[in-house]
Chains A and B, each alone.
Chain A
């Protein structure tokens, strides 16, 4: 038996719709097609590739994915919180219960929140809505109070990243901006978080984004937030230049 069909030719044949005589029936593929007629192995390969082509074509280009609404994650979390109480291993022993200053009840009811599950909330970029969230920031536990509503950070042209930013009061650092960005592009440098005036002319660098796209950054009360309501995340190179690179990935406004 002749050599098996070259994988690239097999791909080409799998892509052939069979209704446009000019493409797949070229003389070049005549040999491979003859081989396919006598080789079950290659036919099997072809069948598998055709299944992929069929799936891709029935989806259509740019078939959009439907993101689950935020409440789905909140339900999952609530379910785990109540049904699977956190394990009491020393490594994830929650520190003392936080002081609740908000008038709203914490969303997990009477349960003492586990540090890990609180981190879960934040990891997905959801606020707990007026309650209290707290977790271990690096090695230092801190309590977050008066957690504000999350504000959406929308992708800038050419980017698919998105995220959330919210303000809270940290027991350790005063007012903080907590920011989470997903789908960050692969870059050589780092991502810097800025507060900007609405015109985009005056900027305050707030700090760098962590490797996981998250950061909780202090925003001292001397910063006049109403004058700098825009949160911007830029790509910065390690070139010693402290100015905004002009290359923004996401942007949103801390209003409302």
Chain B
């Protein structure tokens, strides 16, 4: 190991605890059928769901329909939400995936009825193999912007700046131990979010 790990205040490292607490509060409120909480849930996840729908379907009108369906399904199916099976965000991603898959299937049916070749249908973003890959991507982008600023900056340098942890430490002037902790915690949080969502697929 080339550097001595440095003690960093825990508050600078952990994923925002308030964010987790807020999610739990929203989950509780949803189960209680609190309409105000439902509105807060829409505020928190509306853009994520809508971005997922837009990127997978590539059609603004269909994306709006899917976003609406996801939240209506969440409200009406709230009794089926089991907090012990994963957080609210992951549950919403699961619903989004189902609605997107349904919309794509409906599109296929329409095309078939119209006698069009499957190859001519408007496709999911060309460079993506599956809707799931798009969902992962949007989920990670959404979570990334919610990380504490220091963690976000370090991960951005690692992801997009292609810098090693040593180079990030040199660039930012932060101790290497701090950089390592941020990178590790940030990556593991993102990983957990992706896996929680995949459990709902």
Contact = CB atoms under 8 A, between A and B. Distances in A.
The answer on A and B forming one complex is: yes
A14 B187 contact: yes
A75 B68 contact: yes
Contacts of A123: 36, 39-40, 43
B87 interface: no
Given A49-B191, A56-B144, A79-B72, A68 B50 contact: yes
B51 A65 contact: yes
B4 to A, nearest CB: 14
A76 B181 CA distance: 42
Interface stretch (A114-122, A140-148, A195-203, A243-251): A114-122
Interface residues of B, number: 55
A58 B133 CA distance: 10
B81 interface: no
Nearest to A53: B159
A56 B140 contact: yes
A55 B156 contact: no
Contact of B187 (A49, A57, A65): A49
Contact of B164 (A12, A14, A71): A12
Contacts of B158: 11, 15
A12 B142 contact: no
Contacts of A56: 137, 140-141, 144, 155, 159, 190
Determine the main DSSP class of A at the interface with B. helix
B72 A7 contact: no
Nearest to B40: A123
A116 B162 contact: no
Contacts of A61: 156, 159-160
Interface in A170-228: 182, 186
Given A55-B139, A76-B42, A80-B75, A20 B36 contact: no
A66 B36 CA distance: 23
A52 interface: yes
Contacts of A71: 64
A66 B50 contact: yes
Nearest to A67: B47
B12 to A, nearest CB: 14
Contacts of A87: 33
Interface in A1-26: 7-8, 11-12, 14-15, 17, 20, 23-24, 26
B40 A8 contact: no
A17 B195 CA distance: 22
B14 interface: no
Nearest to A116: B35
Given A49-B191, A67-B50, A120-B35, A7 B184 contact: yes
A65 B36 contact: no
B187 A51 contact: no
A124 B42 contact: yes
A12 B184 CA distance: 9
A72 B162 contact: no
Given A8-B184, A28-B1, 6 more contacts: A15-B183, A17-B162, A51-B191, A56-B141, A65-B48, A75-B68
Interface of A: 7-8, 11-12, 14-15, 17, 20, 23-24, 26, 28, 48-49, 51-53, 55-61, 63, 65-69, 71-73, 75-76, 79-80, 84, 87, 116-117, 119-120, 123-124, 182, 186
6 contacts: A26-B164, A56-B140, A56-B155, A59-B141, A59-B144, A123-B36
